[in-house]
A and B are shown apart, each in its own frame.
Chain A
Amino acid sequence: MSILRRRLFGLPPMEIEERLAFYNEMIDDRMEDGMSEEEAVEAIGPIDDIVSQIISEIPLSRIVKDTAMPKRGLRGWEIALLILCAPIWIPLLIASFVVLLSLYLVVWVLVGVLFIVTVSLGVSAIAAIPAAFMWLKSGNFAGSLFFIGSGLICAGLAILFFKLAVLAAKGVIKGTDKFLTSIKSSLIGKECAA
């Protein structure tokens, strides 16, 4: 429990106490049921799994609020320093946020481009059908064959690009989740790493 407490350092103290009390109660009840202390602790599950699940459940905004914000009130000189340095740190903060947001948007735009290419290829594949008929009507068999072939290639590429776009979208969502978890993990358990 002391290891778990250290690993959760940085989370709101009430949250930590509530969780630890819950796990303690579980261990006590298991021991009452005939398990040894080691077995009861083991039954709770690996500590890494518990920590990662807890981290994933708590919103980043709450973790930032509880870890980045000082627990005590700011002293006079700290407030003065913050105000004096505001022309430096505020633009830097905004710029970092904008850069990160832009990068994230660029990634989503790339995913969007994949979907647009898919739609374009699909439309081309469909458009190739009447074109092939028109060429056939005018007696040009080679032209008609060319459009049928092009349509089939477009249809195949559309399927391929659709799968790629879906994979990319899923990857971005997963990546975002991992990125947020890594930020949360870096804020929590600092005492343990120290």
Chain B
Amino acid sequence: MDIQLKRGLLDVCVLASIQSEDSYGYKIIRDIRPYLEMSESTLYTILKRLETGGMLTVFSIEHEGRLRKYYHITDRGIDRIKEFKNDWQEMISIYRFITREDNDHE
């Protein structure tokens, strides 16, 4: 897959994984793994980028005698997901246009 495309997808995947409830690093990786492969280093970078961009906030909760960082989506993060969905609708129409001849042949 194209690197730029994958990068954009990973950002939205991380946001989607914390959309319904706040989540932590390992759970985010576990939730995304069936769809996209992502290393810890990559996740760290994405979380930092999204935090800097104001799309998520971070807070810590004590868990099993240690602090665990949780990530909470902001309104801007939700807007980013909506934006992605709209863009993707356009992409789907373009994909259908590109593959229409393949479908006609079948």
Interface string of B6-44 (1 = CB under 8 A from A): 000000000000000000111101000000000111101
Given contacts A25-B68, A25-B69, A28-B66, contact A33 B41 (CB under 8 A): no
Majority secondary structure, A binding face: helix
**B64 contacts the other chain (Cβ, under 8 Å)?**
yes
> Which A residues touch B44, using CB under 8 A?
19, 22
Minimum CB distance partner of B29 in chain A: A26
A44 to B44, CA, bound (A): 12
A44 and B66 within 8 A (CB): no
B40 and A57 within 8 A (CB): no
Interface string of A20-46 (1 = CB under 8 A from B): 001101101110110000000000110
> Which B residues touch A44, using CB under 8 A?
40
Tally A-B pairs: CB < 8 A.
Answer: 40
> Which A residues touch B24, using CB under 8 A?
25, 29
Minimum CB distance partner of B69 in chain A: A25
> Which B residues touch A50, using CB under 8 A?
40-41
Given contacts A45-B40, A57-B45, contact A22 B25 (CB under 8 A): yes
Number of A residues, CB within 8 Å of B:
17
**A54 contacts the other chain (Cβ, under 8 Å)?**
yes
> Which A residues touch B40, using CB under 8 A?
22-23, 26, 44-45, 50
Minimum CB distance partner of A19 in chain B: B44
**A186 contacts the other chain (Cβ, under 8 Å)?**
no
Q: How far is the CB of B58 from chain A (nearest CB, A)?
A: 11
Most buried by B among A25, A49, A50: A25
**A96 contacts the other chain (Cβ, under 8 Å)?**
no
> Which B residues touch A45, using CB under 8 A?
39-41
A36-93 contacts to B, CB under 8 A, are 44-45, 49-50, 53-54, 57
Interface string of B41-52 (1 = CB under 8 A from A): 110110000000
B41 and A30 within 8 A (CB): no
> Which A residues touch B27, using CB under 8 A?
29
B39 and A29 within 8 A (CB): no
B25 and A29 within 8 A (CB): yes
Minimum CB distance partner of A52 in chain B: B41
13 A-B pairs whose Cβ atoms sit less than 8 Å apart in the complex: A19-B44, A22-B25, A22-B40, A22-B44, A25-B66, A25-B68, A26-B26, A26-B29, A26-B40, A29-B24, A30-B26, A45-B40, A54-B41
19 further interface pairs, Cβ-Cβ under 8 Å (given A50-B41, A57-B45): A22-B40, A22-B69, A23-B40, A25-B24, A25-B25, A25-B69, A26-B29, A26-B40, A28-B64, A29-B24, A30-B26, A32-B64, A33-B26, A44-B40, A45-B40, A45-B41, A49-B41, A50-B40, A53-B42
